[in-house]
Amino acid sequence: MNKSPALILADAVEILRRNGHFQGGYFQEEATGPEYDRPVCALGAILIVAEGLPYPTNPGMFSEDAYEAARVLARSIHSTVVDDDPIERIADWNDAEERTPGEVMQAMTRAAEEWAA
């Protein structure tokens, strides 16, 4: 593992601040500019930090660093997905109609702090 989950999540918060929050996919495909500068979901932000792009470079496969950061975040959120798949849990949680960008950034910050403690 190259980057700790705490570092990835903290940097992902900055990506969300800079790019904006997106729901319904990893990133806003219709936006202009480089993919890594477009609005992203929680997972898209994690992937930019861990892999450089807002989607898995291998379809359906996250790098070890991205997957571990997702696992840390998934443990600290409340999702309607009850299985252990952190990707599904985060996607469901991120895409909830009532989810705000602030909630996503707060959850990432809290998860990073808890992991680092």
* Predicted pLDDT at 92: 95
Return the SS3 of 58: strand
CB-side neighbour CA atoms (13 Å) of 7: 7
Number of independent structural domains in the chain = 1
Exposed / middle / buried, residue 90 (Cβ in 10 Å: 0-12, 13-18, 19+): buried
Give the domain extent around 79: 5-116
When pLDDT is cut at 50, 70 and 90, the band that residue 109 belongs to is very high
Q: What is the pLDDT of residues 60-86, one digit of tens each?
A: 789 999 999 999 999 999 888 878 899
Q: What is the pLDDT of residues 29-62, one digit of tens each?
A: 998 888 889 999 999 999 999 999 999 988 778 9
Return the SS3 of 113: helix
Return the SS3 of 21: strand
Residues belonging to the chain: 117
* Predicted pLDDT at 1: 56
* Predicted pLDDT at 60: 75
CA distance 114 to 23: 25
